[in-house]
Amino acid sequence: MTMHSSVILDMQGIEKSFGPVKALRNVNLHVRKGEIHAICGENGAGKSTLMNILSGVYPHGSYGGRILFGGEERRFRNLRDSEHAGICIIHQELALAPMLSITENLFLGNEKSKGGLIDWTAAHDAARVLLDRVGLSEPPETLVGDLGVGKQQLIEIAKALAKDVKLMILDEPTASLNERDSDTLLNLMLELKAKGVTSIIISHKLNEISRVADAITVIRDGSTVDVMRYAVDEVSEARIVKAMVNRELADRYPRREPKLGETMFEIRNWRVIDPSHHDREAIRSVNLKVRRGEVVGISGLMGAGRTELALSVFGRLFGRHIGGTVHLNGREIDTSTVAKSIGHGLAYVTEDRKGAGLVLGDSIARNIALANLKAVSSFGFMIDDHSVLDVARDFREKLRIRSHDVLQKVANLSGGNQQKVVLSKWLFTDPEVLILDEPTRGIDVGAKYEIYSIVNDAVAAGKCVLMISSELPELLGTCDRIYVMNEGRFVGEFTAAEATQERIMGAIMTNQALVN
């Protein structure tokens, strides 16, 4: 990859504290003009804090150290200051207004005006130019809420380009994207690099980093621990991982000797009508079996129906006119409500931990107790705070949740530790069947390993696990068997010995061609 001699960004000796907690200590970051610079580190390492300092979210005076951008020392007081200098940050949670059009989103706060009024003709024309730059052909009048997540990411990039961006920061840009949309976004980053746009990418997906990055800075425990440049250094995933977690992860997935029992969980002839399109079957005659002690994966492209299947089974949270039966240990069970599902031993760990899995403003202890309040109540209705704390402390120790104490708000935890709280909440219900929907999305390799270990412990204890994941290496590394889903139905099934990325994608694409 091309080396660039001029440094556009130089962050020197950055330090930041939140009360007694030191989040950053002497962090240095040097980004060259026209390169793609990756920042890696475990959740909680300080990556987002560093970017919030750079973008003015944490104003000058609230941190130590110096920021030089374009050769000048900068003292950003807010986000507007950094954007005025040409720095734009695109967060993992997109900052778009879904009920406004593409044009309105692109120029929100930066409207095209003439004579004090918005010049819609000029705005739409400018929007078309920007959309063309990011490879979108949608009419500028299209509501952003009508677009998929992948296209919304491209709108965010177009929005940055509208502000004459010189340095673009992308925080986990592909975390919510399928493989096709991820490819589109990464290709766009390379195209913008060729046109002189400098980018910083924060990502846990090491294969994506190796594909686009010119350099990597690794942050651990609030400090810079390694800097690698592809043109001059030996860069490998093993080196990156070791720098991130300060230990070798020779095997990314903990070893497990499967001890499979009889069929424990079964879905028969499951059919679901899409609640938004009454003439469309979202799930079509799905049959599924999971044995005691088995981890079974469900693979498929985004929109294949994987989450819809899980939600329709767990309390019928999705769909209408649901048909078919659910069986546990050979007996048909009623899962028509969440309470009944939990009562029969089902647990569902949502893919949206922040929006649906946790009460972010509440404590670790209260979040863990939420799905099984009966177990921490006296006389059936009075919650025993001491019991809540005892249970939370037990799970904090067993799952190694990193926090000051169990009274800490979950909003202040890293993504990996938030996920452990969600898992603790459901493990506290002592489930027979654990349904995991994207269980490691947006968390680092060290925390992933710990999540996989928790899964292994669950099946070793005689439970069964159904894992939905968009990451094929994750399914291949953890599952005993994998179902492949497309267009609401299963189109393939492979044992661990049979499964490969090529076979899984082949099943998806072959059957997609048949469906289309």
Backbone angles phi, psi at 373, to 5 degrees: -65, -30
Share of the chain above pLDDT 70, in %: 95
Q: Where in the chain is the domain with CATH 3.40.50.300?
A: 7-245, 251-345+431-516
pTM of the model: 0.66
Which run of H or E residues covers position 476? helix 472-478
d(CA 111, CA 133): 19
In CATH, the number for domain 251-345+431-516 is 3.40.50.300
Mean pLDDT value of segment 387-415: 90
Q: What is the mean pLDDT of the chain?
A: 88
Closest to 424 measured CA to CA, from 384, 463, 368, 355: 368
Q: How confident is the model at residue 331 (pLDDT cuts 50, 70, 90)?
A: very high
d(CA 450, CA 456): 10
In the Cβ-directed half-sphere of 102, how many Cα atoms lie within 13 Å? Answer: 28
Identify the pLDDT of residue 289. Answer: 97
- CB 426, CB 434: distance < 8 Å: yes
pLDDT digits (tens, 9 = 90+) for 345-399: 999 999 888 888 899 999 999 999 999 999 999 876 788 899 999 999 999 998 8
pLDDT for residue 443 is more than 50 = yes
Q: H helices within 299-384, ranges in order?
A: 306-313, 338-343, 364-369
Residue with tokens 């938004």: 276
Domain 7-245: what homologous superfamily?
P-loop containing nucleotide triphosphate hydrolases (3.40.50.300)
- CB 92, CB 172: distance < 8 Å: yes
d(CA 407, CA 428): 17
pLDDT for residue 5 is more than 70 = no
Measure the CA dihedral 83/87/88/91, to 10°.
-120
Residue 187 Cα distances to 117, 190, 191, 307, 503, angstroms: 37, 5, 6, 28, 25
Using alpha carbons only, give the angle 424, 347, 477 rounded to the nearest 5 degrees: 75
Q: How confident is the model at residue 442 (pLDDT cuts 50, 70, 90)?
A: confident
Residue at 21: amino acid letter: V
pLDDT for residue 247 is more than 70 = no
Which run of H or E residues covers position 86? none
pLDDT for residue 181 is more than 90 = no
CB-count burial class (<10 Å; 0-12, 13-18, 19+) for 117: exposed
Identify the pLDDT of residue 510. Answer: 67
